[in-house]
Amino acid sequence: MVIIFVTTDGIADGTIKMNPLDTLDDRQLQGFFRRSKTEMSCMDKPQSLLKQLRDHELILEEKFQEIIRIKSKEVMQDNVYELLNWIETERPLDIRLFWICVFKEFIMTQYPTLKQLQDSLRSLPNGENAEIWTLDKYRHHLPVTCGDKQGTLDRDKLAKGEPCIRSNNEWYTPIEFEKLGGKESSRNWKQSIHFQGPPLKELLEVFKRKAKP
């Protein structure tokens, strides 16, 4: 069953914005979740967020009670991160539900970070409408993943044919990074290496289309 949501939050001119969850597949949402865990774990006073997750049965009551009793801010952040990591690894099919829960207006009002993440989701590539390759903040560097490996792609080095992906303080060619991520059997690094869900192949194709006169 596919659930479609339409939202008008934050609209001043009366136009309707589609909820980003309507246009992204589970793989994209899971990848975005993976990259957002640290940011979400650092939010202050996460009790209301945890209540929302508990009420939607995304975390157990026992775990909820354990975390809200923590007094240390640093320990709280570590435990929230571990909880998010558990959701990613043990309940990946519920990550869409997670985003639906945390993107409620009353939750985002308390946690501006979540509003920023929702805005970021609206910028994710989606077929012919992909625009990320041309955004200023990604003009030189892109966060990329391959399998369970994460790295940063240097666009200038890529254009020069140099090792262009930095991971754990080492530089790799795209083919080497594909091997590092355990995807060497595909022999197609543009398909194996991903940026916020979709493979680099999609971004490169969009960039080529936009570069044509």
What confidence tens digit (pLDDT) does each residue in 135-146 have? 667 778 888 899
* Residue (of 130, 119, 121, 120) closest to 9 by Cα position: 119
Mean pLDDT for 162-178 is 94
| Cα separation, 27 vs 39, whole angstroms | 20
Contacts of 165 (CB under 8 A, 6+ apart): 144, 151, 152, 153, 154, 171, 172, 173, 174, 176, 177, 193
Contacts of 200 (CB under 8 A, 6+ apart): 144, 153, 189, 190, 191, 193, 194
Residues 183-199 have pLDDT tens digits of 888 889 998 898 866 78
- Between 135 and 128, name the one with better pLDDT: 135
pLDDT bracket for residue 9 (50, 70, 90):
very low
